[in-house]
Amino acid sequence: MSNFALDHLFCFCEPELSRETENATRAGFTLNPGNRHPGQGTANRAIIFKENYLEFIFMDLPGDAKKNPLRLDKRADWSNTGASPFGICLRGEISERESTEFWTYRPPYCPDGVIFIHKSNEDEPEQPLIFVIPSSARPIDKSNINLSHVTHKARSEAIRAVNILGPHYRWPSISKPKEIVLSEADHLQMKVTVDGIVPNEILLNDLLSIHGVP
């Protein structure tokens, strides 16, 4: 079995990110300036920790997204399509046994990069998107990291746990980091637990909340 680590989580948001930015900043988190993903149709901002990060992703160019094999436009329009607005990125090496459950994606905004997409993205889009980056590098290990982007007044350094809720949510037959829990519920919610000096609950938007370690 593979030995995956949690690299990052994403939640689709409205492009303005007004609620997410205001609520995260008030709680002591720094957001990076963000990036666009040409050819994929999305853009983002993120709360980057030393160990992993939380991504606020949004639709930027729907036309590009509709031509891209990921079809993230469906996840962005989750309330109408029924696709999950959540994503889970793992880092590590995929075992030979698990390799048949993924397909290879070469992001157009990074032609030399490779991401492995779990086939549930096409077979069961109502499940969170699960994908793997074949790397062991944490955000803090990357040469282009801006240290001001991983410094938070909340003194948080890592996502320690996440509980993602939705109808019929379940983990596929691949390795799972212990921090991740998928729970079946009749509503959608991503509850992210981080270390540092954090209140019991910070509501970032209707789908996403951050919690302090109990």
Its domain, for residue 112, covers 5-154
Which residue is listed with tokens 């994403």? 10
Specify the pTM. 0.97
127 located within any domain: yes
95 located within any domain: yes
17-59 per-position pLDDT tens digit: 999 999 999 999 999 999 999 999 999 999 999 999 999 999 9
184 located within any domain: no
Q: Could you give the number of structural domains in the chain? A: 1
Residue 2 has pLDDT above 80, yes or no: no
152-208 per-position pLDDT tens digit: 999 999 999 999 999 999 999 999 999 999 999 999 999 999 999 998 899 999 999
198 located within any domain: no
66 located within any domain: yes
Taking the alpha carbons at both ends of the chain, their separation in whole angstroms is 31
Residue 147 has pLDDT above 90, yes or no: yes
Question: Any idea what the CATH number is for the domain that residue 71 is in?
Answer: 3.10.180.10
Residue 1 pLDDT grade (very low, low, confident, very high; cuts 50, 70, 90):
low
**CB neighbours of residue 136 within 10 Å:** 12
18 located within any domain: yes
214 located within any domain: no
31 located within any domain: yes
